[in-house]
A and B are shown apart, each in its own frame.
Chain A
Amino acid sequence: MSDSKKRSKSSKEDAPKENPYLAHLPPSERLVGGASTAKNDYGLAANHPLANFVIGATTAQQGEAAEEGEINPFTNKPFSDKYRKILAGRRKLPVNKHRKEFLDLVQNNQVVILVGETGSGKTTQIPQFMVFDDLPAFKGKKIACTQPRRLAAMSVAQRVAEEMDVVMGQEVGYNIRFEDCTSERTMLQYMTDGMLLREAMNDPLLTRYSAVILDEAHDRTLSTDILMGLMKEIIKKRPDLKVVVMSATLDAGKFQKYFDDAPLMSVPGRTFPVEIYYTPEPESDYLEAAIFTALQIHRTEDAGDILLFLTGEEEIEDACRKIKAEADQMPDAGPIRVYPLYSSLPPQAQKRIYDDAPPPRTTGGRPGRKVVVSTNLAETSLTIDGIVYVIDPGFSKQKVYNPRIRVESLLVSPISKASAQQRSGRAGRTRPGKCFRLYTENAFMKELIETTYPEILRSNLGTVVLQLKKLGIDDLVHFDFMDPPAPETLMRALELLNYLGALDDDGNMTPLGSIMADFPLDPQLAKMLITSPKYGCSNEIMTIVSLLNVPLVFMRPPDQRKMADEAKAQFSHPDGDHLTLLNVYHAYKTSGEDQKWCYDNFCNYRTLKSADNVRTQLKRYMERADLDLVSLPFDERPKGPYYTGIRKALCAGYFMQVAHQERSGNYLTVKDNQVVRLHPSSCLDHASEWVIYNEFVLTNQNYIRTVSEVRAEWLLDIAPGYFELDSFPNCEGKRVLEKLIMRLKSSSSRERDDDEDERRKSRKSDRGDRDRKDSKRRR
């Protein structure tokens, strides 16, 4: 804002000099030869590399000249040799040829759609083109480039920092949830799309940014979709904001239409033809077929690395082992190296996929080969050079959500045609390649959907709705979604937020909702954290919440399962998995955050460390929201007030995820009446009548995961609205609650806790009676 003021002032000074080609711009931006202005405004000396740059009106040559100069214009330090070496490589990237074209488009349009295949260099280069044209550093603004994945945001930022010869975290930085690696000097910021959305909540017009680049838009993540909708609103109010939407696939026409026919620029990648092979018959076991195909290629095909797509960690590790073992047995084949790739793999292990293939055993012998076995991570977001053969079984793990039974799970599903094409394209990066599709051509034509359903259609929208409300978007019904979700999904989100107290009955945000939205957490967890001081256990809940926000802490290597389970048993709390997590964290802290301790106890050090980091962040949020950080005096009795308080606080967040144990032994989810069982990993050691669960997972069986025992009294006490029995379908749980309500009404509330055990006993015998009666009747 200050910038535009400055400029309008300067335009008055040099009033007559307007560039006729810039007539579409606001008057303040139509100036010719703004060099002197720039110098004046930004305080640059005449010999500064950027001295003659006009914001939003630079040329490709100017930019290149600045990049090839002696002095780094942003740090005023001489460029390093390493920089020059990298620069030579950058000039060869396909996108480099289109610098002029891109600048023309972006200078003349507010929104530009850019299609560039993976490996064209768009993610690293386009933001730099923008930096040299938009010069955010001299306007006190930043350029944001969003990435769907945290890891990508970090690694790309690192790469670009090197390319620009700056220190990471200074001029170039990244900002992901629970990790902000930026400074005041930052002009180019890579960030997850979710993070930008979060920033928009407190800065609805994104005034800190002069340009926003939405990368990997083809991924259609939940946050990118919402951001795009938001951008449509923001650009109306901020004509100076530039938006670039970048996609790797060719269905960019949809983006173009969505942004009111924004110009489209496409950068062809360096691609070679790929031959596609289908199987004549459907495979009876795609994993076996994939392994067999990989070995077949290794034995018979020319040099070139193999990329095999599978669905999940377990499958990938399994395939890696088998391929390695079999290939080593082959006397006539060259050496082989097999690398897994999936998102939960530590970064060091992930980087190994870039290693070169092993050399032949003897000079002139069969070539060595690298095999990468990956999830769809390698489909668009990572580029591995040297891949010549791609094996595609046609499946990937995809998130699904169904509001009717409130289940959100990862399920192995057929990929889309667009995905299949993307996968085969991976084979033609360095030379003509081959793609082996482990399905028939008929299956490709008839069974695959055109494009993968965007995440917004497959997700729980609780967080999104809270964010949109916080963003001030009240009309959720007519929000301009690129692909509107099912109405029932929105209903569930509203219902959840209403019961949690974040929205009132008219759908307006409550003060509590506003605080909840500030926490980068699921609404349930945010609510839990915010109410935890009331139960005197905010420190503990903070720990539990951070552990729920990182991958699983417990490791269970396939060959040491028993030992791992024994190690886990030392932490397990009889009343549930949440308290077990707390125990692990305490033990980890007691050990002095020792890596060896983690290794010995089958805990993931990296995860615990990042959980600790998350906890530190959450603490800051708590302090900002002026919430007390308290603990009850420790009491090791499992049913003591210390643990009971924590469990009550858990209830406050998760009262909508409750299951009741039936007489038959299985659990029924409350209200939805879904038959579920405890996940085998649960350490709940006794039959608990009522449990809260973190996740309802759908595999071949229905599981509830991360479970803790609670008491019906607490549920009625904490969420009387939700446990309104009129809205309950007929089930055992309802009858139990009815009885309980009657009893609570009749007996006074005093001595309730003392009675508890006795009552439970009586309930048990009651149950026994019923059982006996029942069996009699059956007889």
Chain B
Amino acid sequence: MSHQDEEEDYMSEAFLNSLVAEEPAKSKSNMSYSERRRQKEREHLANLPKPLHVREKEAREQGLEKEIGEDNKGMAMLLKMGFKKGGTLGASKSASEPTTASTSTSPSGSAPPSTTSLIDTDGGALRAPLAIQIKQGRGGLGMDTSRKRQAEEALQRQEQEVHRVFDEGFRGQKRDQFELEKRKRQLGAARAICMRLDAKEAESRLEQESDEHCATTATRTAKDGRRSNRFWWIDDSMPDEVLGTKLMGPGAEVLVDLDQDQDKQTAEVRAFDHSDDEDGDLERNKAKRVRLDSSVSQEVDQTDLQDEEPPKWGERPHFAQLEVHEKLEEVVAYLRSEHSYCFWCSAQYDGPEDISENCPGKSEDDH
């Protein structure tokens, strides 16, 4: 039997031993990090020297629990005298009298809970020694039990509270989070639309007034842009695609001190590169291009805007301080009034009259 040489017989001891040896290793590797950490902590605590009073108490409790065994000389002598292990002492006759002080006392409160079970029910004789209770402090009679009860109640309340908070809090939090994410997405989309429409408008205007002076155009663009540029202000909550598109917004460059902040900007863009949003890349590329284009008019813009006191970097304008849903509302309102575009219908109407007639309403709920 050749296979027996390769493998241990499953009846053999070696086989069993190998199993046993394998098990702990396996279980250890199976443990998660926190399990291992907890186990380590436990081991550490167990190895720490305990305070004297704790050791005292432990030894005492252990000692009180441990019945005197048969290796005890007294036990051997008692057995020789006719004692039967697990029995009680006393005249056998007394076994017919169940009424003794000890049996009728089954104190439910502070008294040793083990007492009742220790007492032989038919003889009233003790099987095991009376338990020892050490009173701590000067709490009145019933205080300890009432304290214990209160502590138990408090613990129960606390547990319930934890459950409640978990139930409500967790779900609520999840719901809010979901809502927020949704709003953010909508805001991003609205901003993108806004920018596109603004840019389109600016382009068409450029084409229209190509013969006019470059500087005035730039100024106008900036002025038009300023109406909406506040929506593109960089903001923590802004999704990366918005961040990307922001840079192409007309006037955005004006507000950004490019010399200092360009690096930072690109760094930020790069930081968002890992985003899996496909549109983002597209938009970003576009943004870079637009920025390069508009950088020509940079100097003019700066001089022109000096009296307008542009908000500085880091000093957040009104828009940035809004909550996400408020931002969304403003963007939607802007689209509606400036471009006759209804965000909820995802359609551009021909003019204010058209939108008021054909669009169901201003809010999402209307749609």
Residues of A within 8 A of B (CB): 251, 254, 257, 279, 281-289, 393-395, 400-405, 407, 411-414, 416, 438-440, 442-443, 446-454, 457-458, 474-481, 483-496, 498-499, 503, 505-507, 664, 666, 668, 672-677, 698-702, 727
Chain B hits for A727, CB < 8 A: 71
Which 3 residue pairs spanning A and B have beta carbons closest together? Answer: A283-B140, A443-B142, A495-B74
CA distance A286 to B136 in the complex (A): 12
Known: A675-B56, A702-B56. A478 touches B77 (CB 8 A): no
Pick from B101, B126, B141: contact of A286, CB under 8 Å: B141
Cβ < 8 Å to A, chain B residues 282-316: none
Q: How far is the CB of A262 from chain B (nearest CB, A)?
A: 15
B101 x A404 contact (CB < 8 A): no
B49 at the interface (CB under 8 A from A): yes
Q: Name the B residues within 8 Å of A485 (CB-CB).
A: 89, 126
CB distance from A320 to the nearest CB of B (A): 17
Determine how close the nearest CB of chain A comes to the CB of B219; give it in whole angstroms.
76
Q: Assess whether A404 is in contact with B90, with CB atoms less than 8 Å apart.
A: no
Q: Cα distance A447–B110 when bound, in Å?
A: 6
B83 touches A487 (CB 8 A): yes
A438→B109 contact, CB < 8 A: no
**B321 in contact (CB, < 8 A):** no
Cα–Cα distance between A493 and B111 once the two chains are bound (Å): 26
Q: Which A residues lie within 8 Å of B110 (CB)?
A: 414, 447
The residues of A that contact B128 with a CB separation of less than 8 Å are 486, 488
A284 to B146, CA, bound (A): 10
Asked whether B127 lies within 8 Å of A478 as measured between CB atoms, the reply is no
Docked CA distance A286–B89 (Å) = 39
B91 at the interface (CB under 8 A from A): yes
Determine if A282 and B141 form an interchain contact, defined as CB atoms under 8 angstroms apart: yes
Given contacts A480-B91, A701-B53, contact A506 B107 (CB under 8 A): no
* In the complex, chain B residues whose CB is within 8 Å of the CB of A403: 68, 129
A286 to B49, CA, bound (A): 36
Say whether B132 faces chain A, with CB atoms less than 8 Å apart: yes
- By beta carbon, the residue of chain A nearest B56 is A675
Residues of A close to B83: CB separation below 8 A: 477, 487
| B76 cross-chain contacts in A, Cβ below 8 A | 505
Q: Are B134 and A698 in contact (CB under 8 A)?
A: yes
Q: Which residues of B contact A285 (CB under 8 A)?
A: 137-140
| B360 within 8 A of partner (CB) | no
Name the distance in Å between A305's Cβ and chain B's nearest Cβ: 24
Q: Which residues of A contact B107 (CB under 8 A)?
A: 446-449
Q: Among B101, B130, B138, B142, point to the contact of A439 (Cβ < 8 A).
A: B142
Task: State in angstroms the CA–CA spacing of A93 and B118 once bound together.
Answer: 44
Given contacts A477-B81, A483-B102, A698-B134, contact A284 B140 (CB under 8 A): yes
In Å, the complex CA distance between A337 and B133 comes to: 36
Q: Are B139 and A286 within 8 A (Cβ)?
A: yes
Distance of A449 Cα from B113 Cα, bound (Å)? 12
Q: Does B4 contact A (CB under 8 A)?
A: no
Instruction: List the interface of chain B (C-beta within 8 A of A).
Output: 49, 52-53, 55-56, 59-60, 63-68, 71-78, 80-83, 87-94, 97, 99-102, 104-105, 107-111, 118, 123-130, 132-143, 145-146
**For residue B104, which residues in chain A have a CB less than 8 angstroms away from its CB?**
450
Instruction: Write the nearest CB–CB distance from B6 to chain A, whole angstroms.
Output: 44
Cβ B89 vs Cβ A487 within 8 A: yes
**A679 → chain B, closest Cβ, in Å?**
14
B134 contact set on A, CB distance < 8 A: 411, 698-700
A331 CA / B109 CA spacing, docked (Å): 43
Task: Specify the chain B residue showing the minimal Cβ separation from A287.
Answer: B138
Interface contact A488-B67, CB-CB below 8 Å: yes
**Nearest Cβ distance between residue A776 and chain B, in whole angstroms?**
15
- Docked pose: A89 CA to B63 CA in angstroms: 56
For A722, give the chain B residue with the smallest CB separation: B73
The contact sample of 7 A-B pairs, CB cut-off 8 A, is: A284-B140, A394-B140, A476-B81, A486-B130, A488-B67, A494-B78, A505-B77
Shortest Cβ distance from A682 into chain B, in angstroms?
17
Q: Which residues on B sit within 8 Å (CB–CB) of A492? A: 68, 74
B56 touches which one: A400, A453, A499, A701 (CB < 8 A)? Answer: A701
Contacts of B124 in A (CB 8 A): 483
- Knowing that A443-B145, A453-B130, A489-B129 touch, tell me 7 more A-B residue pairs with CB under 8 angstroms: A283-B140, A400-B132, A449-B107, A487-B88, A503-B77, A675-B59, A702-B60
Do A675 and B52 touch (CB < 8 A)?
A: yes
A453 and B55 alpha carbons, distance in the complex (Å) = 30
Q: Flag if A666 contacts B74 (CB, 8 Å).
A: no
Consensus secondary structure, chain B interface:
loop
B63 near A673: Cβ-Cβ < 8 Å: yes
Q: Which of chain A's residues have a CB closer than 8 A to the CB of B73?
A: 494-495, 498-499, 505
List of B residues within 8 angstroms of A484 by Cβ: 88-90, 94, 123, 125-126
**Given the complex of chains A and B, what is the CA–CA distance between A477 and B90 in angstroms?**
6
Residues in chain A near residue B49, CB distance under 8 A:
664
A457, B99: Cα distance in complex, Å: 16
Say yes or no: B100 contacts A254, CB within 8 Å. yes
Tell me whether A487 and B127 are in contact (CB under 8 A). Answer: yes
A480 touches B90 (CB 8 A): yes
Question: What residues of B have a CB within 8 angstroms of the CB of A393 in the complex?
Answer: 140-141
How far is it, in angstroms, between the C-alpha of A148 and the C-alpha of B126 when the chains are bound? 24
Partner of A446, one of B60, B102, B109: B109
Contacting residue for B105 out of A450, A480, A494, CB 8 A: A450
A746 to B72, CA, bound (A): 30
Q: How far is the CB of A503 from chain B (nearest CB, A)?
A: 7
A478 engages B63 (CB within 8 Å) = no
Measured in the bound complex, the distance between the Cα atoms of B95 and A478 in whole Å is: 11
A457 touches B126 (CB 8 A): yes
Q: Indicate if the CB atoms of A282 and B74 lie closer than 8 Å.
A: no
Residue pair B74, A438 in contact (C-beta under 8 Å): no
Cα A506 to Cα B82 in complex, Å, equals 11
**Most chain B beta carbons < 10 A, residue from A495, A699, A727:** A495
Of A405, A447, A505, which one neighbours B109 at CB under 8 angstroms? A447
Question: B residues within 8 A CB of A412?
Answer: 135
Contact (Cβ within 8 A) A507 B80: yes
B111 touches A447 (CB 8 A): yes
Tell whether A475 pairs with B109 under 8 Å between CB atoms, given A283-B143, A727-B71: no
* Chain B residues with CB below 8 A from A474, complex form: 81
CB distance from B122 to the nearest CB of A (A): 12
Q: Among A254, A282, A407, A488, which residue has its beta carbon within 8 angstroms of that of B142? A: A282
Docked pose: A549 CA to B279 CA in angstroms: 99
Name the contact of B55 in the complex, choosing from A476, A483, A499, A675 (C-beta under 8 A): A675
* Interchain CB contact under 8 A, B111 and A404: no
B68 to chain A, nearest CB (A): 5
How distant is B94 from chain A, measured CB to nearest CB, in Å? 7
> For residue A675, which residues in chain B have a CB less than 8 angstroms away from its CB?
52, 55-56, 59-60
Chain B residues near A257 (CB-CB < 8 A): 97
Docked pose: A265 CA to B128 CA in angstroms: 35
Contact between A506 and B56 (Cβ–Cβ < 8 Å)? no
Determine if B78 and A453 form an interchain contact, defined as CB atoms under 8 angstroms apart.
no
Interface centre among B59, B71, B82, B108 (most CB of A within 10 A): B59
Chain B residue nearest in CB terms to A281? B146
Task: Give the CA-CA distance A556 to B111 in the complex, in Å.
Answer: 34
Contacts of B133 in A (CB 8 A): 411, 413
Q: Which A residues lie within 8 Å of B81 (CB)?
A: 474-477, 507
Q: Point out the residues of chain B lying under 8 angstroms from A453, CB to CB.
A: 101-102, 130
**Contact pick for B77, options A457, A507, A700, CB 8 Å:** A507
| CB of B328, distance to nearest CB on chain A (Å) | 59
Residues of A within 8 A of B88 (CB): 484, 487
Considering the chains assembled together, what is the distance between the CA atoms of A98 and B254 in angstroms?
121
| CA distance in complex: A257, B99 (Å) | 10
Return the chain A residue nearest B54 by Cβ.
A675
Question: A666, B139: Cβ atoms under 8 Å?
Answer: no
A496 to chain B, nearest CB (A): 8
Residues in A whose Cβ lies below 8 Å from that of B136: 700
User: Which residue in B71, B77, B142 is a CB contact (below 8 Å) of A447?
Assistant: B142
Asked if B140 contacts A439 (CB within 8 A), the reply is: yes
Interface contact B126-A446, CB-CB below 8 Å: no
Give the nearest-CB partner of B110 in chain A.
Answer: A447
